Chain A
Amino acid sequence: MAHIPDGILTLPVLLAGAAIGAGGLAIGLKRLAPERIPQVAVLSGLLFVAALVHFPVGPSSAHLILNGLIGISLGWAAFPAIFVALVLQAVLFGFGGLLVLGVNLTNLAVPAALCGLAFNAVIKARPAWGVAAAGAAGAFGVAASMLMVALSLAASGREFLVAAQLVLVTHLPVMAIEAAFTAAAAGLLLKVRPGFLGRGAVAVVVLAATLTAAGPALAHKLTLFASTEGNSVSGHAYFSGGDRAQGVVVTVTDPAGAVLHRLTTDAQGAFSFTASSRADHRISVEGDDGHAAQFTIAATELPDTLAPGAPAPDLQAMIDASLARQLRPLREQLAATHDKIWWHDVVGGLGAIIGFFGLAYGLSARKDKKS
């Protein structure tokens, strides 16, 4: 289990986690028939016991996360099962914390529920692939959970980025262990108690769809940066995260809106043109999926010798040029920092989407109960 303690995460992250967790809990409980409570309790207890098992990994040790196995056994009911185990661990051992319960639940249970969905689909289509699918679920459960832990950390501040990366790297061996473990456990269950795994716990589809839809939209925010050197203007377009945007159309207009240049970025996402007048240059780029970015080169950044025609470079222009050259990386970096999508925007957005979805579901569940 992966327990983030209280005091690390920021309020928006805590809220997003709580919203997703509560939504998942509502769905999980709604789908949980009272007759199945003893079964789910067994699994929940198992999660607790699993924290006792330490596997040696070289000189250090790792312990089971187990959310893959829980997911393929319980589907949506993984939310309540994991919740109960987390509460018990927090209260009895001080693992994790109180306000982070929602985040910890989300980080473990969302991958678990996804595992359940995928596994059920596989089992239905190809019963013979059960063991392999379980192994994959084991690895995915760990990977996705740790990715979410890393996201929670990084969303709480840049200073946790290194730790977030560390989380991911150190869990690579755990993925292998968990895959072998889950495959074995599921193999035994499939043989000894056929019908327990993969009884069509239905759709985590909405959740999956939301996740996949939100991902690319956020991943493609375009950013633009340009600088001058004498009368030549050059710049880069890139996607958030730093990938250069290649083959994107760049339009340069003057303040009146007249198009001065129309260019396409090269393989490095770079473009350049020569300014022919000393006026503000508005540069804009537009990606395929409707994302756009703008940057303005002020007239004052261009040499004042420019307006009538191309002049011979004087001393002042040479100093400007060299300054511009030296400042350029700095400015580029600043722009990158400024425009980079913060991970908390991502998580916050996702949280809001899934949280609303959960809320709606929870409300509908209550309505059902009343009627």
Chain B
Amino acid sequence: MSLPHAHSRTARPMLGGEAHGHASLHDDCEGHGPIGHLDPRTRLVAAGLFALMVVSRDQIWPLVLAVGLALAAALLARLRVLPTLRRMLAMDGFMVAAVALLPFTVPGDPAFSAFGLTGSGEGLHQAALILLKANAVVLMLLALVGSMNTIALGHALARLGLPCKLVQLFLFTVRYLDLLHREYARLRTAMKARAFTMGTNRHTWQSVGYLFGMLMVRSLERSDRILAAMRLRGFDGHFPCLEEPSRFGRPDGLFALASAASVVLMMSQG
């Protein structure tokens, strides 16, 4: 385990592996599989309700059922198996520690011993609950929302009542991500060409600080240019909130029914 925390398993592949960074951000995920036909709002609301359900259950079986449902959703959304697994396994290092320590910190009947410490059955139980909950929510989130085009997600958030400014900020961020990431990669490559390697020293921290400072300066300048270009096109300090025609239709109704049914099923367990 790598402390303080490690996202490396997901973050690294992003750099090169997954079709150059987050090409996957805007690309083709939407429209694949039955989930793709649903209105983004339906998917968002369903994910939220599912999370609420899952978090409030405290028995193993309903939670196993929940993970099963999330898996089914992931299959319906045609999520790719490996990247999804990698994302699910990525938890902050200290969170892994928090869960792993539970058997030793929750008082109860001794169930096993490791490293000269006795682990309690209750602790194991609680750790299992947390793992099931965390993974069920993440999997469902990736299946229902992560599979959505980010722009569509922004619009869906707007129509669910998120403030217009926040949605505009979201959309702008999505637009900048790729630029920022590429600029970061270029500068980082150039540093490498000058024999820079990461170490545990001030020179490293300072250099990366400069790198990010420079990234900020350049992106800010770019944002100035974008703003200037917007002014040229008549921007007067107000963003029109984008309206999209509602896509809520029969598939959404069916999906809503199915979700409601599964929620009832989950509630009735245990």
**Residue positions of A touching B, CB distance < 8 A:** 2-8, 11, 14, 25, 29, 32-35, 37-46, 48-58, 60-63, 69, 73, 80-81, 83-85, 87-88, 90-95, 97-99, 149, 153, 158-163, 166-167, 170-171, 173-174, 176-177, 180-189, 192-193, 196
User: In the bound complex, how far is the Cα of B87 from the Cα of A37, in angstroms?
Assistant: 30
Return chain B residues, CB-CB under 8 Å to A163: 94, 97-98, 101, 105
New A-B pairs, 17, CB < 8 Å, besides A45-B180, A84-B170, A182-B209: A7-B137, A11-B55, A34-B239, A38-B224, A44-B173, A45-B219, A52-B15, A60-B6, A84-B166, A84-B173, A87-B170, A88-B170, A92-B22, A94-B138, A95-B90, A166-B98, A180-B202
CB of B159 to closest CB in A, whole Å: 16
Find out whether the CB atom of B4 lies under 8 angstroms from the CB atom of A91.
no
Is B145 part of the contact surface with A, judged by Cβ < 8 Å? yes
| Given A32-B165, A91-B146: A5 in contact with B97 (beta carbons within 8 A) | no
Is B257 part of the contact surface with A, judged by Cβ < 8 Å? no
| Given A94-B138, A188-B213: A162 in contact with B101 (beta carbons within 8 A) | yes
Give the residue of B90, B198, B200 whose beta carbon is less than 8 angstroms from that of A93.
B90
Is B142 part of the contact surface with A, judged by Cβ < 8 Å? yes
Interface stretch of the complex, out of B31-39, B127-135, B248-256, B259-267: B127-135
Find out whether the CB atom of B177 lies under 8 angstroms from the CB atom of A98.
no
Find out whether the CB atom of A45 lies under 8 angstroms from the CB atom of B173.
yes
Is B210 part of the contact surface with A, judged by Cβ < 8 Å? yes
User: In the bound complex, how far is the Cα of B87 from the Cα of A160, in angstroms?
Assistant: 24
Return chain B residues, CB-CB under 8 Å to A184: 205-210, 213
| Given A11-B56, A95-B90, A180-B202: A189 in contact with B213 (beta carbons within 8 A) | yes
Return chain A residues, CB-CB under 8 Å to B238: 34
User: In the bound complex, how far is the Cα of B56 from the Cα of A85, in angstroms?
Assistant: 26
User: In the bound complex, how far is the Cα of B116 from the Cα of A142, in angstroms?
Assistant: 34
Find out whether the CB atom of A60 lies under 8 angstroms from the CB atom of B3.
yes
Find out whether the CB atom of B7 lies under 8 angstroms from the CB atom of A5.
no
Is B226 part of the contact surface with A, judged by Cβ < 8 Å? yes
Return chain B residues, CB-CB under 8 Å to A97: 51, 134, 137-138, 141
Find out whether the CB atom of A46 lies under 8 angstroms from the CB atom of B212.
yes
CB of A343 to closest CB in B, whole Å: 15
Return chain B residues, CB-CB under 8 Å to A187: 209, 213
Return chain A residues, CB-CB under 8 Å to B56: 11
Residues of chain B in range 1-21 having any CB-CB distance to chain A below 8 Å: 2-8, 10-12, 14-15
| Given A42-B220, A45-B219: A33 in contact with B237 (beta carbons within 8 A) | yes
Find out whether the CB atom of B101 lies under 8 angstroms from the CB atom of A185.
no
Give the residue of A39, A61, A73, A188 whose beta carbon is less than 8 angstroms from that of B214.
A188
A-B complex: 8 closest residue pairs judged by Cβ atoms: A184-B209, A7-B133, A188-B213, A41-B172, A163-B98, A38-B223, A180-B205, A185-B213
Q: In terms of DSSP, what is the predominant structure of the interface of chain A?
A: helix
Closest residue of A by beta carbon distance from B197:
A56
Is B61 part of the contact surface with A, judged by Cβ < 8 Å? no
User: In the bound complex, how far is the Cα of B3 from the Cα of A171, in angstroms?
Assistant: 9
CB of B106 to closest CB in A, whole Å: 5
Return chain A residues, CB-CB under 8 Å to B237: 33-35
Interface centre among B10, B145, B165 (most CB of A within 10 A): B165
Return chain B residues, CB-CB under 8 Å to A34: 165, 168, 237-239
Please encode chain B, from 148 to 185, with 1 for each CB lying within 8 Å of some chain A CB and 0 for all others: 10100100000000010110111011111101110010
Return chain A residues, CB-CB under 8 Å to B258: none
Give the residue of A8, A60, A193 whose beta carbon is less than 8 angstroms from that of B134.
A8
Give the residue of B4, B54, B176, B227 whose beta carbon is less than 8 angstroms from that of A7.
B54
Is B68 part of the contact surface with A, judged by Cβ < 8 Å? no
Can you give 29 A-B contacts (C-beta < 8 A)?
A3-B91, A3-B92, A5-B91, A6-B51, A11-B55, A33-B237, A34-B165, A34-B238, A46-B216, A49-B215, A51-B7, A52-B181, A54-B6, A54-B198, A62-B4, A63-B5, A80-B166, A81-B169, A84-B170, A85-B173, A91-B142, A92-B146, A94-B90, A97-B138, A149-B94, A166-B97, A184-B205, A184-B213, A189-B216
Find out whether the CB atom of B10 lies under 8 angstroms from the CB atom of A93.
yes
Return chain A residues, CB-CB under 8 Å to B104: 162
Find out whether the CB atom of B5 lies under 8 angstroms from the CB atom of A37.
no
